Structure 1
């Protein structure tokens, strides 16, 4: 059981995970790869659990005013805010639309748009990420200006998806060309949706979900969810009265991600432990387990369940 739990306090960050790691304004980011290989471009990235249950789990930690540069993925990218206050923005230049998320809010970002995010709170912030597919979509697609700016600060991305840092004496191998910038024709494939296009169908607010989680799990992402999408996994929010404290099992992988409070996880005829906010636990198919808050007070937990939907794809706006 311990081998499939990653504690918040044990998370190992990488500060050079992506091409904007030296770019002013983005150079204080910390990236975490929790379950699966993730999309890091750096060999320095530590992977906590390499098993991939059909999706990847990661996180980003940033101090105030630090931002993640504009990029896109080929598969689903879902964030919920664990700590802090965050602004998400999107579009070719990041000015097509934006939304501010508070702690517990969740954002299922549609594919086919460039997106970025920044910590607009007053303290170090943390967002948890769910990336669709076993290979997390094959990497990151960067807006052209991100690659150009990074080169001015010593980082070059190879066509092989790996970073080379001139500050460490590295350079592109002779047989590896630089990652080409997207052409004008390719850029036309990326959408420019407004805030009104995105927020109603792709953002769910924590306190709305908490209200819906009384006496049953709140369906967040899935065919029956508040966000009706099928990206290769379903997401539910559990609170104190959502499920009985009884042993049960799922026929697919489940990931438990506490948001608030402390949760007791027990295995049938086996060990038990307590999960805390920021912890991540992987439960394998068929494992009988029970889950319940272990203390009084506010308690909430995001539960991610693998589905048979193909390739971790999320909905693309028309």
Structure 2
């Protein structure tokens, strides 16, 4: 391949293609202005309109949510890990059966590893359009979204019905459930007992790390944010490192599986050596860009100018992308 073809593995922020009908709450007031993005992997969209930018399996999915002020994402759960970092804006994350078990406000660069098995939602509480970037465990992202019962009921009142096949049908467009397809059943009271009400201390203490704390930790070497030996100790099927300009190294390195670079501050120049599949080349990444680095490709990333610079680096591990210890609180 040529260096120009490597550009196909870079998704630029300005080229992101949103889907406004990705989930069941797309018509629900307060949630009807969301934009969802599937950057790497199939994601968990319930709509055939969702565009996938890079379909190459990585062992995890990368997505994003863009929302105007006061727009929220409804309460839902996943069977695998869901990690967010704030790219732009100010966001409130909340959780629990009714969304009132706890909440935390995150600023730009902050990261949250939300425990599996609890209902969670998020809202842009800033004054401008905001964006959060997401990492979902597994290539199939846990097989979809599990919605709190009231979300499915509210959506039906506004014309959207979710089939048990995981697909959305818009009655406002004359759509109906196909023959033989039943509506997605609501979780029973007995099933809801499997979704714990975790305290703020549990969720924030185990899963939230602040941008400026990570900058301090990554003063001279990358900080492992999520991993068996990370500052968030979890094994969700992937690891997340935080790299600052002062911690970046010009030494070339490689991984035995695809990895992902996601700048959050500053501009980064990524260089790579030639191998049997790729010619040597370089590219510059800005905040909001996402780059998939092929396996066994020697590469390095350095800030392209002076000033503040930080990025997140994600790579899959051999750990199963299922419920983690954080989803089983005592």
Q: TM-score range by the shorter chain?
A: over 0.9
Contact conserved, 1:66 with 1:118, CA < 8 A, in 2?
A: yes
Aligned to 1:154: 159
Structure 1 residue 293 corresponds to structure 2 residue 278: no
**TM alignment of 1:50-89, pairs within 5 A:** 50-89=55-94
Deviations 1:250-292 (A, max 9, x none): 1222100000000001111411110010000011221001110
Between the two proteins, the alignment pairs up a number of residues equal to 318
Q: 1:92 aligns with which of 91, 97, 109?
A: 97
Deviations 1:78-109 (A, max 9, x none): 00000000000000000000000000000000
Q: 1:274 aligns with which of 277, 280, 284?
A: 284
Deviations 1:177-220 (A, max 9, x none): 00000001000110001111211111000000011111100110
Contact conserved, 1:232 with 1:313, CA < 8 A, in 2?
A: no
Structure 2 residues without counterparts, runs of 5 or longer: 1-5, 275-279
Aligned to 2:208: 203
Mapped to 2, the partners of 1:292 and 1:226 lie a distance apart of 23
Aligned to 1:131: 136
Q: 1:212 aligns with which of 214, 217, 228?
A: 217
Aligned to 2:47: 42
Contact conserved, 1:132 with 1:313, CA < 8 A, in 2?
A: no
Q: 1:4 aligns with which of 9, 12, 16?
A: 9
TM-score for the superposition, normalised by structure 2: 0.95
Mapped to 1, the partners of 2:173 and 2:299 lie a distance apart of 47
Q: 1:106 aligns with which of 103, 107, 111?
A: 111
Aligned to 1:240: 245
Aligned to 2:313: 303
Mapped to 2, the partners of 1:178 and 1:258 lie a distance apart of 41
Deviation, structure 1 residue 312: 4.5
Per mean C-alpha deviation after superposition, the further-off stretch among 133-142 and 248-257 is: 248-257
Aligned to 1:254: 259
Mapped to 2, the partners of 1:305 and 1:165 lie a distance apart of 37
Deviations 1:94-125 (A, max 9, x none): 00000000000000000111000000000000
Contact conserved, 1:55 with 1:233, CA < 8 A, in 2?
A: yes
Deviations 1:212-254 (A, max 9, x none): 1111001100011110001010001100121321221112221
Secondary structure of the 1:146 match is helix
Deviation, structure 1 residue 311: 2.5
Mapped to 1, the partners of 2:236 and 2:164 lie a distance apart of 27
